[in-house]
Chains A and B, each alone.
Chain A
């Protein structure tokens, strides 16, 4: 008797387990986006967003892929909604990956001096794309009564020593010297797709 009902019970239990596990992801359609997105903001005195920093990490790619067998690579978007350019400095700014446990790991923002043999082996066009930028342009003010302008943004590539990053990050901290403050980038709620 017990044996006769064992199979349906097992199937129902598995189905329930799947439903529960999917339910915890918050997804509606079932195709949850595996990308981990970390956001950091700087707001002005009026509460308006001035700078918005986003780092996207796709865990599988992040852990499996490496650059020159030495670095884990992540991409960061820096968005500037103010009218003034945001000055960046590879030597004075600092970005750190905070793992779930253990010490934070700093990204190498200046590979030209940090790993010149690797950097020099890249083509000029690649170096141009990967070099830590010097500034993010300001966003022009909208015309009087006009809609707000789309903010200026650019991407920054972050290189982390592979050996020091065995797992996906829990958060990031980003210090921009010209702003004089450190921004914490934390995971946003998982997105439904």
Chain B
């Protein structure tokens, strides 16, 4: 039906006197709409239901619009009457260059300007990621070995290039803060998170690990550039080991850090409620439910679309893979944990 409508509009326009003047612009416009539709369809098929409004705000749609706009501008610039004949000899070419020298320079400069502006606009609207996240070990529970934890983090870095973790095993020292920062943190409702935030201000995005309990959260808390994960409630996810728990929460907190740094979390993320479906961004109503989330993590279609639009399909793929923890249970990684670190994973 839409195709018939398009044919009718085209048939009407073709009969108009100005058709030859607007024909290239109509074609570029049509091409842009077609590419938008094809891309939307690809995204929808590849990553599930994506609301059109979300796609139209995505960097993919914006890139298509920027390129189309640049093409339209260029066409407008180049729509000038061409010389009657083409220069086929070197003498005619030289004469043509001499005659149209100013025009050629003008067109070249404006083309370069439009291309640069389009390039800048694409770069400005492209998804960007926090490539480096520091994991700061404030203190570890007795059953977590520093070397095994370091190996876990390296394995997280190994299969993907979307972000990488650095591990900082220096004990956290409150005395390294300024006096003002220390006072602020002592008055904060979650001092550990405040310390992590202050550290993140100079060291960049940071995930702090602690064995001490948090005040207002069972497992982890997050604000701005910092997250804190605690292993204090180990009984809630036993017999899963602290390594499995930390692997899952480090990935999850990384996604939160990146979402927060680029446009904010989804509005429904961690909204308190009595029910949950296992979404990774869902509030866990009771502490016993976390184990189920670790075993069957799930990104809802809406969350997948959000991550896709903000960070691209490769990032989404990495996130889903890492959250599943399948990489942790491969014979190679599991075997290394057992043989070299004497750590037996639960699955």
Contacts and interface: CB of A to CB of B under 8 A. Distances in A.
B199 to A, nearest CB: 8
Interface string A120-161: 100011011001111100000000000000000000000000
Interface stretch (B46-54, B153-161, B174-182, B316-324): B174-182
A134 B174 CA distance: 9
A184 to B, nearest CB: 26
A112 B171 contact: no
A131 B179 contact: no
B202 A119 contact: no
Given A124-B202, A125-B202, A119 B173 contact: no
A110 interface: yes
Contacts of A133: 171, 173
Among B172, B177, B199, B203, chain A packs the most CB atoms within 10 A around the CB of B177
B175 A131 contact: yes
Nearest to A121: B178
Contacts of B171: 133-135
A181 interface: no
A124 B177 CA distance: 7
Interface residues of B, number: 15
A135 B179 CA distance: 21
Interface residues of A, number: 16
A113 B179 contact: yes
B176 A127 contact: yes
Contacts of A60: none
A124 B179 contact: no
Interface in B44-66: none
Contact of A128 (B176, B182, B201): B176
A112 to B, nearest CB: 5
B179 A120 contact: yes
B177 A127 contact: yes
A134 B202 contact: no
A124 B176 contact: yes
Given A124-B202, A125-B202, A131 B178 contact: no
B176 A120 contact: no
A119 B180 CA distance: 10
Contacts of A110: 175
A132 B202 contact: no
A128 B176 CA distance: 5
B226 to A, nearest CB: 14
A116 interface: yes
B178 A120 contact: yes
A42 interface: no
A90 interface: yes
Contacts of B172: 134
23 contacts: A90-B175, A110-B175, A112-B177, A112-B178, A112-B182, A116-B179, A119-B178, A119-B179, A120-B179, A120-B180, A124-B176, A124-B199, A124-B202, A125-B202, A127-B176, A127-B177, A128-B173, A131-B175, A132-B173, A132-B175, A134-B173, A134-B175, A135-B171
Which 5 pairs, one residue from A and one from B, show the smallest C-beta to C-beta distance? Answer: A116-B179, A124-B202, A131-B175, A131-B176, A120-B178
